Amino acid sequence: MTAVAEPTFQQAMEITAQWLNLWENGELSDEVLADRVAELVASRDGARGFFVVSLAGDCPLMDRLPEALLVQLRQAGVGVVDLSARNLAMSTAMVLHHQRAGDGAQQGASERVQTRCTELLRSLDPAAVKARLETLLEATRGVGDDVAFLDRWGYDAAQRAAIAAALEAVAEG
């Protein structure tokens, strides 16, 4: 299946799942996958769909991050940085949520997404990442544009503190 010019979120998830399966089976090279992902992440819904599947799925792509893919994700710019930062925040908050609920399997899945986001952010444009993380970090203190994002998801003080720690850990790596 080829990329749709402006895929919906659902289409992007389906396309990504197909591509990752082909890549895992050795039927798609790193370079071809990277080119296809570049087309997908050019739109917001395409990027959202790609990250939902690649970050949360069992495919090892985001654990290995082939250089060709990293180049394309860096070139995609601030949209990829923004989604990666938001995914880090959400997965970090969910780690705590699942821990409180005693759901070790879901906690582990959220921790995997958290680790993948952290490593991805460390590999993207440092200036763009720094700027995005600083804005999100301010929101954990109740200041700035991202407060509405944190409020929308209803994160409590402990979750916001965990998000702040996760954001700071990106720079420490």
Q: Which pLDDT value is given to residue 5? A: 67
| 4: pLDDT strictly greater than 60 | no
Residues in CB range of 35: below 8 A, 6 or more apart: 72
Residues in CB range of 74: below 8 A, 6 or more apart: 80, 123, 124, 125
Q: Which pLDDT value is given to residue 170? A: 96
pLDDT in tens, 157-172: 999 999 999 999 998 8
* Residue 40 exposure: Cα atoms within 13 Å on the Cβ side: 32
Positive or negative, the CA dihedral 64, 32, 121, 107 is negative
Q: Is the pTM of this model over 0.75?
A: yes
pLDDT in tens, 111-139: 999 999 999 999 999 999 999 999 999 99
pLDDT in tens, 20-62: 999 999 999 999 999 999 999 999 999 999 999 999 999 999 9
Cα 101 from Cα 13, distance rounded (Å): 28
Tell me which residue of 131, 150, 130 sits closest to 140, measured CA to CA: 150
Q: Which pLDDT value is given to residue 2? A: 53
